[in-house]
Chain A
Amino acid sequence: AQSVAQPEDQVNVAEGNPLTVKCTYSVSGNPYLFWYVQYPNRGLQFLLKYITGDNLVKGSYGFEAEFNKSQTSFHLKKPSALVSDSALYFCAVRDKNSGYSTLTFGKGTMLLVSP
């Protein structure tokens, strides 16, 4: 079985400050990891993924995430937050050994960036 935990329901940060949205995962094998963002009244949009290789993954809109196998984490980061980054962020995982294509999503973390 695979699972994802996003321990924070909400993260507040001031514009211009760095931001981190936390994610930990559990899979029986090796993971594929993803971050998605959801703006109000919209569907989820793909931000970035880790499949293999470099542990630091760069994605859209200046976001990046670091895969840490020993801590089973995949935290989302951005050096300087924008008000327009305010949205709901989802972490997702899939076990590489799984025969299915399904992703397991976390509950989501609301990011609020204040001016």
Chain B
Amino acid sequence: DARVTQTPRHKVTEMGQEVTMRCQPILGHNTVFWYRQTMMQGLELLAYFRNRAPLDDSGMPKDRFSAEMPDATLATLKIQPSEPRDSAVYFCASGLRAGGSYEQYFGPGTRLTVT
């Protein structure tokens, strides 16, 4: 049963520290998405990649957030420096673009708390 995996599941850090979140998409999926979920804003798309190339990162604060796919099995989301307002659950999702009939498969999320 293929799944998207994310590490770490929980992260508590102090303001100003660097945070790196990792995602392993489902093997063979060619699109990867990063979302942030908060009570106030709901589910927000931060960035997405197709075939490892970034296609849209307009939802991401560029001054502190960066997203990369070093290879097809790893996507990373980095926050430097972190701030308390970054506290949220960050989800990675992967999908396979085959015509229009596809779904996004979500990982379990990384719960980030910045103090």
Contact = CB atoms under 8 A, between A and B. Distances in A.
Interface of A: 32, 34, 36, 41-46, 49, 51, 90, 94, 96, 100-103, 105-108
A96 B105 CA distance: 19
Contacts, number: 50
A96 B104 contact: no
A51 B101 CA distance: 7
Given A102-B33, A102-B48, A43 B109 contact: yes
Given A90-B43, A102-B45, A45 B100 contact: no
B26 to A, nearest CB: 12
A101 B106 contact: no
- Please classify the interface of chain A as helix (H, G, I), strand (E, B), loop, or mixed, using the class held by over half of its residues: loop
A108 B43 contact: yes
Nearest to A52: B100
A102 B50 CA distance: 11
A41 B100 CA distance: 29
Interface in B30-82: 31, 33, 42-43, 45, 48, 50, 55-56
Given A43-B108, A108-B43, A101 B4 contact: no
Contacts of B91: 43-44
A113 B109 CA distance: 25
| Shortest beta-carbon contacts, A-B, top 5 | A43-B106, A44-B106, A46-B103, A107-B42, A105-B43
Contacts of A34: 103
Contacts of B109: 41-43
A76 B102 CA distance: 19
A34 B95 CA distance: 14
A27 B31 CA distance: 22
Nearest to A98: B100
Given A46-B103, A46-B105, A101-B48, 13 more contacts: A42-B108, A42-B109, A43-B106, A43-B109, A44-B91, A44-B93, A49-B101, A49-B103, A51-B100, A101-B102, A102-B56, A105-B43, A106-B42
A94 B104 CA distance: 12
